[in-house]
Amino acid sequence: MKTNRVITILFFLLLVLIPLDFFLIFKVAPTEKVMGDVQRIFYLHVSIASGALLAFTGVFLSSILFLWTKKIAWDIAACTSAEIGVLLSTLVLITGSIWARPVWNVWWTWDPRLLTTLILWFIYVGYFLLRSGIADKFRKAQYSAVIGIIGFIDIPIVRYATKWWKSIHPLLTQNGGGLNPVMKKVMLFSITTFVVITIFLFFFRFRLARIEERLQILKKKMED
């Protein structure tokens, strides 16, 4: 029941954090000189990306712990984190595109950072494809842990390779200089909010998955 308490605390915390975050983004943060109001999506974009990174780190660590301990709870934790990671990285790609259209005049550019995010997304969608194709619970956990580990380690390699590749071609875009101090504070607040959202989603989904698992065991017992 400890999980329930964590979920309740996080829920009430988010009731304060989310409205405050939106207030700061739309009312307190100054409007960017060149990009105008559209720049405000940046606060969400970067924060969601931080949440996604946290979730994928969760997949990686839970996968290692599963292979080490063979406890199915770690597999549930890895799968839960992967679900949140895929959701958040999809949002990262969408918000990035919405921002890029008015600012760079394109929906998409083959920038190393974008490319790495897209590949990360592909890897974790593949993770779920694999899971859906294996019936045996333990085997499913074992195999997806392998993907969870290799996928995470592959990301810096992809990042490095694409950066190297792009260094041959002219860079299409360059990020602007430092942020204004107020903007920086809003950004940090927004990142904190989304980290809390990610943790909340994790516990919420984790509890649900545990209940599902328990239900399945009970059903099986009844059938026997």
Site residues (vs other proteins, CB under 8 A): 67, 119, 122-123, 125-127, 129-130, 133-135, 139, 142-143, 145-147, 149-151, 153-154, 157-158, 160-162, 164-165, 168
| Smallest distance, other proteins to C-beta of residue 196, A | 30
- Residue number, 65 or 67, with CB nearest to other proteins: 67
CA-based angle 86:45:5, to the nearest 5? 60
The CA-based angle 86-92-96, given to 5 degrees, is 150
Q: Which is nearer to other proteins, 88 or 145 (CB)?
A: 145
Q: Which of 107, 164 has the CB closer to other proteins?
A: 164
Closest CA to 144 of 91, 221, 67, 211: 67
**Minimum distance, C-beta of residue 150 to other proteins, in the bound complex (Å):** 6
What is the distance between the alpha carbons of residues 96 and 64, in angstroms, rounded to a whole number?
31
Is 99 within 8 Å of 42 (Cβ atoms)? Answer: yes
Q: Tell me how far, at minimum, the Cβ of 122 lies from other proteins, in Å.
A: 4
Yes or no: say if 39 and 32 are a contact pair by the CB < 8 Å rule. Answer: yes
Which structure tokens are listed for 60? 């990686």
Q: Which is nearer to other proteins, 167 or 180 (CB)?
A: 167
Please report how close the Cβ of residue 75 comes to other proteins at its closest, in angstroms: 12
